[in-house]
A and B are shown apart, each in its own frame.
Chain A
Amino acid sequence: MTDMGIRESRPDNLVLSPVKQSGLGDQMKRGLDAPICLTWELTYACNLQCVHCLSSSGRRDPRELSTAEAEAVIDELQRMQVFYINIGGGEPTIRPDFWHLVEYAVDHDVGVKFSTNGSRIDADVAAKLAEMDYVDVQISIDGSDAETNDHVRGEGSFATAVQAMEHLHDAGFGEFKISVVMTRHNIPQVDEFKAMADHYGAQLRLTRFRPSGRGADSWHELHPTDQQQRELYQWLLDRPDVLTGDSFFHLSALGEALPGLNLCGAGRVVCLIDPLGDVYACPFVLHDEFLAGSVRDEGGFQKVWQESDLFLELREPQSAGACASCGHFDACQGGCMAAKFFTGIPLDGPDPECVLGHGEPLVEAADRQARPVGADHSRSAPVAFLGRK
């Protein structure tokens, strides 16, 4: 008898039950008719200059999609029944048409979750957000105190983010999200992050730090130690209510699988549209090698998603390569493509943070000068934090 078991999930964590038992993982590997997790970076402009920024954001690119082009993308997502999108940047609220595009999406059955550093979430904006349906807000912080956070995100950024949380809380927004990229400096603070989320009635979301964008430069200083990875794994296992964006599947090689998809969704269920309309396999691989096409091409986003050579290739069975002989391959699937790519490890090699230690020697051996780098939108000189009052 066919197992028709319903698998329920929240958009942030794709599948709550272990996929291995359900067979859903195999179906996911072959790809879906439309993505489930679509991230859309609306602009490369940002008033911060975080040292781990995956898109090296800072300056707006003059070729970014116009309002009309962005609306056309939303129309297409509605036709494809992409039920919700994750909007990011850069700092997306900097775009003058940001609120218009959010409303346009919601009016076209495309729910929105947007990530922000909080600098534009004042009391009025928070009140407006509290009245909107189908809009989720995610405030980014990277430390539970100003010192840890501002080291990564810039001076004053912690106070700004906390103020935005206060505004959302006071406005009765409900359950917003607090999103933290896990680093060597903030993994010891996970309990404080959880307490902060509980204090605001928010949901905590912890994601994996990747060596993408400026993250390549800060990787060696910020990526977690092996011991920290083990502690985090146990902490997450004990707290299935903490969202992870399914990003820690490489830790599943430590034993019991973490809740979630537990495989790389790039080009299969996940993709990224950048501010220019270029479509990449996932948010962490803004590099020509993973560029599938553009929403500006004939056939638009749908054709890129359904027919691009890159995405069709990613949906083929992937070689286990150097990991084939490892007994844990079924659990970790070789880890994160982006993490390997930007640390100079072959895509069929182990994850740089392989919990069995297979990645580290390869990272050490890789020629740091020869590692691939993505486009850089950083401002030429560091600027003072603009969101401060």
Chain B
Amino acid sequence: MAETLRIGVAVKHGVDVTLTRADRATGRVDLAGAPRKTSDFDKNAVEEAVRLREKHGGTVTAITVGGPAAREALREALAIGADEAVLVTAESWSTWDTRAVARLLAGAYRTLGGFDLFLVGEGSTDHFGGLVGPRMAGELGIAEVASVRKVTIEGRAVLAEKDLEKEVEVVRAKFPVVLTVGQEINTPRLPTFMANLKASKKEAKVLAPPDVGLAPDSLAPVVVVEKVAVPEIPRKQVALAGASAEEIAKGLREALRAEGLVP
């Protein structure tokens, strides 16, 4: 008898980059008060997990590491089609760095009994470090395939297309395996009204660091953010207008001549 497929997927409730504003005077960005949303690639990860379950059966468990508001990321994952949701949280969550997040995910992986496949966004929209998935796999000592843009299941293994800068590497990895996925793998579905309603009624399981085998003081950050600032690039902001397209074009030619860019 075939074993039931167990799929885990990590989702991050990160800073909404499109709504983040820098202080005009200092150029600094206050991340603590910034609006948050589910990280883009993580929705691709949830969508892919749900598609694999739709095809092969099994369960999808969405896990987030963060504060109380991170329940929103879990609700979105449930609305896309995840079966279970797990929030790993503690009061010190906002100090957690990539290491702490990867350790907590690895701890949750163990506590929940392991997974055949564990999907993670290739990078988060806000941080885009690309470290959490491989770091978690390293912690667990299991296989990983990063930057996956296509995945198929063959028995108790995956065949994954790894999208590198200049080539595509097709990799076979036996379960268990961590996959990091990018935007190219799929287009996440827009949940129906009913799916959203159902998702908002489902309770997430809540785990504290000790529940996943980690003492809270072992999660103190080793990479400390001192500041986040937006580099100022002054632009001239000259509006070119004219009675006709040709007049506008000539205006641009004059401007680029003055810049020394065209003869």
Whether A associates with B in a native complex is no
Q: Which residues of B contact A (CB under 8 A)?
A: none
Interface residues of A (CB under 8 A from B): none
